[in-house]
């Protein structure tokens, strides 16, 4: 079974954002604004990258789709910080419809597509637990007989943490979610023309059987000024980490609060 994750990193898609722009050039100007890019890199380096790099099961691919016109210094930085993670592939892509671009990236990675594939999506400012890939394989094995006649099935780890990062460290709140992308994956049969990007993650349970596991906590979902999800989802109960949670974030997510403080306190982090 193939396991493939996909991440959109400042990709100027036609659609796919709640913030709309009239032209591709306007969207690129927004995406590649220095202050915004600094914010995205801080979160990516503090959350997404360490959690992907330290997965307990390293047999997976993580696709990062970027824009062809990303400024060279940002493109080079992304290449540099991911170079040591063999599972990561960076794919520059011309502007096109969001789901079309992501689907094409996954299908290209699948190649001849001769085996089942577990597919997941992850934002560039979120993290998954180090047992995420291993857990998805467990889900697939444990449900093989049950899902024999199902074309699609979704697996959802619905417990995790909302987090906010700053130079002072990490604030967190434990949450139980409803089909958030960061704890979710879909299993596809060989040769299926659709991918995880052909489905809205909040409505998967309207279209297919879904299996939910509320333990263990499997994601960290960041909140900050550049979220594209709207203020309605901003958590109200964020609190500084205590010693036990600080240890859990490092052990289970490879997220180091001292590293977070350093990234957010660095002069470059305040650019713009």
In a domain, 162, yes or no: yes
pLDDT the model gives residue 98:
87
Token pair 């890939």 in the structure block, residue: 133
pLDDT the model gives residue 227:
57
When comparing pLDDT for 242 and 18, which is higher?
242
In a domain, 129, yes or no: yes
Indicate the pLDDT class of residue 268, thresholds 50, 70 and 90.
low
Q: What's the residue count for the chain?
A: 272
In a domain, 182, yes or no: yes
pLDDT the model gives residue 88:
98
pLDDT the model gives residue 272:
36
In a domain, 68, yes or no: yes
**Domain range for residue 139?**
2-267
Does this model's pTM top 0.75? My answer is: yes
- Distance linking the first and last C-alpha atoms of the chain: 44
Model confidence pLDDT, tens digit, residues 159-175: 999 999 999 999 999 99
pLDDT the model gives residue 236:
81
CATH number at residue 43: 3.90.550
In a domain, 188, yes or no: yes
Model confidence pLDDT, tens digit, residues 68-118: 999 999 999 999 999 999 999 999 999 999 889 999 999 999 999 999 999
Q: Compute the average pLDDT of residues 28-34.
A: 94
In a domain, 272, yes or no: no
Residue among 198, 7, 14 nearest 90 (CA) = 7
pLDDT the model gives residue 222:
97
Average pLDDT of the chain?
A: 92
| pLDDT higher than 70, residue 230 | no
- Say what percent of the chain tops pLDDT 70: 92
In a domain, 60, yes or no: yes
Contacts of 134 (CB under 8 A, 6+ apart): 55, 56, 57
Burial class (CB in 10 A: 0-12, 13-18, 19+), 67: buried
What does the DSSP assignment read for 174-194?
EEE-SS-GGGEEEEE-TT-S-
| pLDDT higher than 60, residue 42 | yes
In a domain, 54, yes or no: yes
pLDDT the model gives residue 232:
45
**Count of structural domains within the chain:** 1
């Amino acid at each position: 079974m193939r396991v493939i994750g996909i991440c959109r990193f400042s990709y100027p898609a036609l659609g796919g954002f709640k913030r709309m722009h009239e032209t591709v050039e306007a969207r690129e100007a927004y995406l590649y604004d220095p202050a915004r890019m600094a914010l995205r890199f801080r979160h990516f380096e503090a959350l997404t990258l360490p959690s992907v790099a330290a997965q307990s099961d390293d047999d997976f691919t993580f696709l990062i789709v970027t824009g062809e016109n990303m400024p060279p210094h940002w493109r080079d930085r992304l290449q540099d910080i991911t170079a040591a993670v063999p599972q990561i592939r960076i794919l520059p892509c011309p502007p096109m419809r969001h789901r079309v671009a992501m689907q094409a990236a996954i299908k290209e990675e699948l190649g001849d597509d001769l085996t089942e594939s577990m597919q997941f999506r992850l934002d560039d400012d979120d993290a998954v637990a180090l047992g995420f890939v291993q857990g998805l394989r467990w889900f697939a094995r444990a449900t093989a007989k049950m899902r024999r006649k199902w074309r699609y099935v979704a697996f959802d780890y619905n417990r995790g943490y909302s987090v906010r990062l700053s130079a002072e460290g990490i604030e967190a709140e434990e949450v139980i979610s409803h089909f958030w992308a960061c704890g979710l994956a879909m299993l596809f049969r060989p040769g299926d023309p659709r991918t995880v990007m052909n489905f809205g993650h909040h409505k998967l349970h309207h279209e297919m059987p879904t299996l939910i596991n509320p333990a263990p906590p499997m994601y960290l979902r960041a909140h900050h000024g550049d979220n594209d999800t709207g203020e309605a989802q901003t958590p109200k109960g964020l609190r500084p980490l205590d010693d036990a949670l600080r240890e859990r974030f490092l052990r289970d997510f490879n997220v180091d609060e001292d590293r977070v403080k350093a990234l957010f306190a660095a002069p470059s982090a305040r650019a713009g």
